[in-house]
Amino acid sequence: MKHPLSVSHAAALVVAGLGLFSLPACGDDSNPLLTATATITAGPTTNNPSGNPSGDPSGDPSGDPSGDPTGDPTEGGTDTDDPTGGPQDGPHALGTILLGESHPSAGGATTPTVYASFIPDADAGGFKGCTENVAGCELALVPDCGSGCDVDEYCGFDDGCKAACQPICDAQCAPDEVCYFPAPGTPGCKKIESFDAGALTFLNTPIPITLFPPYAFMSDDSASPFAPGGTASVQASGASNAGFEAFDKEFTGTEFIQSSPKLDTLGFAEVFGSGPLPVRWTPGDGEVTITATVTSSNFATGTITCKADDPSGSFDIPRAALEAAVGGEPAANITVSIQRQRVDVYKDLTTKGELTGVTVQPVGFLHIVTSSTEYHSFQGCNPGEAVCDDECVDVQFDPSNCGDCGNTCVGPDTCLNGTCNGNNACNACAADNEAGVCKPQNDACAANAACKALETCIEGCDTQECFYMCAENVDAAVIDLYNEQIFCTCNTACVDECYGLCG
């Protein structure tokens, strides 16, 4: 880097000396995510084709970190054939009943969940999430519509999982009506119509459960709503209007999931280090899903889900998937859950009734899901820190890991706010920017014979007195031209690298 000059001339720019250092030649680098509750809840079953961004009505009502409580209940489990002969496939209405429990890895009370939903057409109802495969796991995508949407729109995914602005159904409807689109882009109102299966009564469950539409049930019990490996049944009285006819179906509870070793005993390096995150459990014969919700130091959050082989009792969450969840940012918190499911599937049910503008399929499928989830939340490094060699390092001020792991400052240079600061960093930055940000100023001096001569003289100096001797009898405009290079380096190109050296 070049030294600035100050002269006793009214037109000259005065900059304090930078000191005597080597110069290159001129002109030629706890648990904030969990919401535990003992309340048993069930999702609404009112038909809502409005398309408004009101969230997924079939989402997880429990608040536990396992995400969607049902996963994909069409996969795995017991498939009960139609007793009249062969499975019935093709268009159908769909009923989903979930009995779940979730418990912390460190022990304590279990949180029960009971959920019921009935939709008239499985092909047209329900929320379908959009995901991206990362290292064998699925990363839940968040729609990004770029510059945003109009006030009467919201950002969502289209059928091809492409982010697009969707119209909000904003018709002014009566309290007993719901907004919907009778034609594309044309909102309208229709009477609220239910589609359900009537009262649901559960027999032989550890806690008494009876649900009436819209299937909300409050309980202070801290117990599982199903017995592991136990047989129970659900009786539906049948819909009073549109919905499923009466049914009586048995189901078997899944075995409780238990991590081994316990999730809460995993070491910091295992969770936040550079390798995969190991998850182990007592093997079983259900459907196991591993979910990790990652929060970065700047509060970005992402969730990945990974299918695992239950009999193996082990799964290593790929580090690449964890990093992708927050765009490669350092993780400040990771919540891991292990979920085991069993699904009993029936395809021999029938429906009745009609709905406005919605097809009611006459054949009904029923998925009875039992789910057990164990979870634990891990606290990572503090803001400004990163995991380097499996330890938290303050990359804002560590000269061996300045700004990033392994970025070492040269010689006596220090690390200031994630940037190497000192003579070496300042000189290196100045040299890089002679052909970069500061190229116009350097070219201007090089094109001026007097400025170039001044610069050549200064390059041979090793004392402050020598600098001033080089500037004797030099026109102030030439000194200004020379100093513009310094100002560019100190005030624009290398502010952090040269901080404290240009003052």
From first to last of its 503 residues, the chain has per-residue pLDDT tens of 565 544 332 222 223 233 322 223 233 333 222 222 222 223 333 333 333 443 333 333 333 444 443 344 433 334 433 333 344 578 999 999 999 999 999 988 899 999 999 999 998 855 567 999 999 999 999 899 988 899 888 999 988 889 999 999 999 999 989 898 888 888 999 888 899 999 999 999 999 999 999 998 777 888 999 999 999 999 999 999 999 999 999 999 999 999 999 999 999 989 998 899 999 999 999 999 999 999 987 788 999 999 999 999 999 999 999 999 999 888 889 999 999 999 999 999 999 999 988 899 999 999 999 999 999 999 988 877 888 887 888 999 999 999 888 999 999 999 999 999 999 999 899 989 988 999 999 999 999 999 999 988 988 888 888 888 888 888 989 989 998 988 999 999 999 999 888 75
**Residue 400 near residue 414 (C-beta atoms within 8 A):** no
Q: What is the dihedral of CA 396, 397, 398, 404, to 10 degrees?
A: 20
Residues whose CB is less than 8 angstroms from the CB of residue 439 and which lie 6 or more positions away in sequence, other chains included:
433
HEC secondary structure over 373-429 = EEEEEEECCCCCEEEECCEEEECCCCCCCCCCCCCCCCCCCEEECCEEECHHHHHHH
Residues whose CB is less than 8 angstroms from the CB of residue 291 and which lie 6 or more positions away in sequence, other chains included:
65, 66, 67, 303, 304, 305, 306, 336, 337, 339
The helix (run of H) or strand (run of E) holding residue 446 is: helix 439-446
Phi then psi dihedrals of residue 401, to 5 deg: -140, 70
What region, left, alpha or beta, does residue 408 occupy, with left being phi > 0 and alpha being psi -120 to 50 degrees? beta
* 160 vs 105: CA distance, rounded Å: 38
**Residue 162 near residue 148 (C-beta atoms within 8 A):** no
The helix (run of H) or strand (run of E) holding residue 469 is: helix 464-471
- Quote the tokens at residue 58: 């079939």
Q: Which amino acid is at 445?
A: C
Residues whose CB is less than 8 angstroms from the CB of residue 108 and which lie 6 or more positions away in sequence, other chains included:
none
* DSSP codes, 147-170: T---TTEEEEE-TTS-EEEEE---
**Residue 56 near residue 44 (C-beta atoms within 8 A):** no
pLDDT at 242: 96
pLDDT at 43: 30
Task: Tell which residue, 13, 207, 178, has the closest CA to residue 100.
Answer: 207
Q: Which amino acid is at 117?
A: S
Distances from the Cα of 503 to the Cα of 2, 4, 153, 425, angstroms: 14, 11, 52, 16
Beta bridge partners of 147: none
Residue 460, CB-side half-sphere exposure with 13 Å CA sphere: 6
**Residue 316 near residue 336 (C-beta atoms within 8 A):** no
* 192 vs 179: CA distance, rounded Å: 9
* Cβ atoms within 10 Å of 5's Cβ, excluding its own: 23
SS3 (DSSP) at 305: strand
pLDDT at 325: 94
Backbone CA torsion sign across 156, 158, 162, 165: negative
Residue entry with tokens 């970025």: 407
pTM of the model: 0.68
* 309 vs 183: CA distance, rounded Å: 46
Phi then psi dihedrals of residue 464, to 5 deg: -65, -35
SS3 (DSSP) at 487: helix
Task: Tell which residue, 271, 496, 495, 502, has the closest CA to residue 396.
Answer: 496
pLDDT at 215: 93
Residues whose CB is less than 8 angstroms from the CB of residue 213 and which lie 6 or more positions away in sequence, other chains included:
45, 194, 196, 198, 199
Residues whose CB is less than 8 angstroms from the CB of residue 267 and which lie 6 or more positions away in sequence, other chains included:
none
**Residue 205 near residue 191 (C-beta atoms within 8 A):** no
pLDDT at 23: 29
**Residue 63 near residue 34 (C-beta atoms within 8 A):** yes
Residues 271-300 as b/e (b if ≥16 CB within 10 A, e otherwise) read bbeeebbebbbeebebbbbbbbbbbbbeee
Describe the strand order of the beta sheet including 209-211 as a list of residue ranges. 209-211, 200-203, 231-236, 247-252
Task: Tell which residue, 153, 160, 144, 164, has the closest CA to residue 187.
Answer: 153
* Cβ atoms within 10 Å of 163's Cβ, excluding its own: 16
Residues whose CB is less than 8 angstroms from the CB of residue 284 and which lie 6 or more positions away in sequence, other chains included:
254, 255, 257, 310, 311, 340
* Total residue count of the chain as it appears in this document: 503
Task: Tell which residue, 206, 198, 202, has the closest CA to residue 224.
Answer: 206
